[in-house]
Chains A and B, each alone.
Chain A
Amino acid sequence: MEIHDRSAGEVTIVQLEGNLDTNTAPDAHAHFDALADGGQVRIVVDFEKLNYISSAGLRILLATAKKLKGVGGQLRMFGLNDTVQEVFEISGFSTIFSVFSTEAEALEGF
């Protein structure tokens, strides 16, 4: 999996490319942790190039969201493909998380 960061004002946009699963989740988790520890607590995750997400991926998103919330930040996401969207709905994540369809919408008022 490839992870690319870019900035939009004080917001960090993290693009995930590939699969977020058992094998890649630990790296992604470390990446999010490093951002939060470095004070970047408003994070938008760009899912447009994400292929699929398994429960291992869901867990690290949840852990990251909690960590950010604890320090006054927030996690938002956009660009979910149909499979990822379905996983979010089945797991109840679509109600827990702030999910947007486009980057502009995710950034609005953040």
Chain B
Amino acid sequence: MTSLGTLRIGNLHEVLEARRKVRSAVLSLTQQELLATRLATMVSMVGRDLLGHNTSPSLEIRVDDERIGSRLAFRFQGKYSPEIPGLVERFCSSVEQDNGAEGDPTLTAIIRLPMESLPRQDQLSAVRAVLSSKSKDELTAEIQAKAEELEVKNLELQESLDNLRRTTSVKERMEGELNIGREIQLSMLPLDFPAFPHRTDFDVFATLEPAREVGGDFYDFFLVDDDQFLFCVGDVSGKGVPAALFMAVTKTLIKSRATNDLSPASIMTHVNDELAFKNDSSMFVTLWLAVLNLQTGYFKYCNAGHNPPYLKRADGTLVRLDKRHGPVVGAVEGMAYGEDEEELGCGDKAFLYTDGVTEAMDPEGELYEEDRLVTVLESTDFVTVEDMVKASANDVWRFQAEADQADDVTVLAVHYFGDPTGDADQRRLDLVLKNQVQEIGRAVEAFEEFSQRNQLPVPAMRAMNLALDDLLNNVVSYAYEDETEHEIHVHIELGEKRISATIRDDGHPFNPFGSVNPDTSESLEEREVGGLGIHLVEKIMDEVDYHRRINENVVTVVKYIES
């Protein structure tokens, strides 16, 4: 096991601080609110007890990386009350005690983390930073974890810079700093394509070619949920490390806001306020951001000082999205941004780019300009967005020839296929259930009928049957504290290679996938109620996801269909 850090817990203030740090550390390692709160509570409980025994206690946090999940150990040193080990057991997978022949006794609580993969190095660095950090003010936990991650990167950069200062000339040093900035910039971009191999309703492709010196372009895209796809392109003023860090914060703010806010205008307004607040460096970012509803093809977009994108219709028509909704982001606090709506029909593409394209220069100093871009976009019907992106970028390289690249060149395109067969309604099932046990049977029957109608392969049907039964049972049995009637919404969608179910309830906030996996070597009675069913669902399904919307729990499970 490797140590992630040691915390002093010699007074109440330090115990509370340790509680906060542990919560934040576990959250950044697992993204699981419930687990983070449980472990923070455990630390607070043991810490308070240790205070009463007149020693100078400490807490060391360690992690290891076995192949099957990862273990986290909390090693408390100091005298503790006899009932403490028993209480600690309730919070963790196992407890080890050592009575310490010389020093103080130790008590180690070991927790199995519910993770499929090993913790990444950057996550561990973030945790180390959290554990060794000074106390911070507010910001949401996620932003804070990200900021601290950046702090670590900053420190590492500072070290690299110190080295550079000692060993290199001024010119080389500047290049070194620019290289570091570029590395951060590129490390933040989604670069794997196809990005969503299981989706048949849309495709996305992007490229970013960094300039040797100046440049702060970025792009991002992700599924907010099964039906909502966010994509954006931006250009940060400035260059090098500061621009790269500003970009990282922008990207994080967009992502965390979009989790429960699907309005581009509202996301932009929020991101602007956060970035503009105490923006001493006066940096800013041009940003074009859209949220596409994959069921309908409608998308809302907000343009904050960015180059207007194009739509390439399936019939070949090119449409320029001229609307602007406010100034660049991060410059002025308190701006309210607007938004507009457009539609992508089946086969339509959206094409986004940065000014590095239109301001590329040839060896004679002539600009590429938008006309040339339009000519390329109109020249042919691109079969794929990859063709479209590569053709437009290649045209810029041809034009630029031997000239230096002045600015980053970024191109992103989204292809919407929608529902070409027109049988989407047949392949979707929406149910509204009351929070009663009998209603689960109704859902299972409706799903079986749906499966037969669509000739869903039997193994996928059985797996989804099981998941529906256990997830709905969980909601009906545990989500509500009152006796009143509630509605549970079930949405099932059958794709080419996957079937997904989304269950929404307005019960108290609860992440079913947030608890520690039950020890299946224990007998059933010893396991937590409800734990086994969820464990089955997690194992049988290929993807599981939970997020909390404003007043709803949203659970989505996906099973891949093997033909």
Kindly specify which of B4-12, B27-35, B117-125, B438-446 makes contact with the partner chain.
Answer: B438-446
Kindly specify which of B58-66, B334-342, B532-540, B550-558 makes contact with the partner chain.
Answer: B532-540
- Whether A54 contacts B540 in the complex (CB less than 8 A), given A22-B440, A83-B459, comes out as no
A98 close to B (CB within 8 Å): no
| Contact among A56, A83, A90, A91 for B469, CB-based, below 8 A | A56
Residues of B within 8 A of A58 (CB): 524, 532
A81, B462: Cα distance in complex, Å: 10
Binary flags per residue of A58-79, CB closer than 8 Å to B gives 1, else 0: 1100100000000000000000
Q: Report whether A54 and B533 are in contact in the complex, using a CB–CB cutoff of 8 Å.
A: yes
Q: Report whether B540 and A86 are in contact in the complex, using a CB–CB cutoff of 8 Å.
A: yes
Q: Report whether A92 and B444 are in contact in the complex, using a CB–CB cutoff of 8 Å.
A: no
Q: Report whether B520 and A92 are in contact in the complex, using a CB–CB cutoff of 8 Å.
A: yes
Q: Report whether B466 and A83 are in contact in the complex, using a CB–CB cutoff of 8 Å.
A: yes
B228 close to A (CB within 8 Å): no
Q: Report whether B465 and A59 are in contact in the complex, using a CB–CB cutoff of 8 Å.
A: no
Q: Report whether A22 and B437 are in contact in the complex, using a CB–CB cutoff of 8 Å.
A: yes
In this complex, how many residues of chain A approach chain B with their Cβ under 8 Å: the count is 24
| Contact among B465, B473, B521 for A56, CB-based, below 8 A | B473
Bin chain B's interface residue count: 20 to 34
Closest to A57 in B: B469
A88 to chain B, nearest CB (A): 10
- Residue among B437, B466, B520, B532 having the largest count of chain A Cβ atoms under 10 Å: B466
The majority secondary structure among interface residues of chain A is: helix
Residues of B within 8 A of A19 (CB): 444, 465, 469
B271 close to A (CB within 8 Å): no
Binary flags per residue of B511-552, CB closer than 8 Å to A gives 1, else 0: 000000000110110000000110110011000000000000
Residues of B within 8 A of A102 (CB): none
A98 to chain B, nearest CB (A): 16
Q: Report whether A55 and B533 are in contact in the complex, using a CB–CB cutoff of 8 Å.
A: yes
A84, B466: Cα distance in complex, Å: 10
Q: Report whether B463 and A83 are in contact in the complex, using a CB–CB cutoff of 8 Å.
A: yes
The majority secondary structure among interface residues of chain B is: helix
B131 close to A (CB within 8 Å): no
A58, B541: Cα distance in complex, Å: 18
Q: Report whether B536 and A55 are in contact in the complex, using a CB–CB cutoff of 8 Å.
A: yes
Residues of B within 8 A of A53 (CB): 466
A52, B459: Cα distance in complex, Å: 10
Residues of A within 8 A of B532 (CB): 55, 58-59, 91
A2 to chain B, nearest CB (A): 15
Q: Report whether A52 and B520 are in contact in the complex, using a CB–CB cutoff of 8 Å.
A: no
Residues of A within 8 A of B469 (CB): 19, 21-23, 52, 54, 56
- Whether A52 contacts B539 in the complex (CB less than 8 A), given A21-B444, A23-B440, A23-B444, comes out as no
Closest to B531 in A: A55
Q: Report whether A83 and B520 are in contact in the complex, using a CB–CB cutoff of 8 Å.
A: no
Residues of B within 8 A of A90 (CB): 520, 535-536, 539-540
A81, B458: Cα distance in complex, Å: 11
A96, B521: Cα distance in complex, Å: 9
Q: Report whether A91 and B441 are in contact in the complex, using a CB–CB cutoff of 8 Å.
A: no
A87 close to B (CB within 8 Å): yes
A2, B535: Cα distance in complex, Å: 28
- Whether A23 contacts B438 in the complex (CB less than 8 A), given A54-B470, A91-B520, comes out as yes
Q: Report whether A22 and B466 are in contact in the complex, using a CB–CB cutoff of 8 Å.
A: no
A82 close to B (CB within 8 Å): yes
Q: Report whether A83 and B441 are in contact in the complex, using a CB–CB cutoff of 8 Å.
A: no
Residues of B within 8 A of A12 (CB): none
Closest to A83 in B: B462
List residues of chain B with CB under 8 Å of any chain A CB. 437-438, 440-441, 444, 459, 462-463, 465-466, 469-470, 472-473, 520-521, 523-524, 532-533, 535-536, 539-540
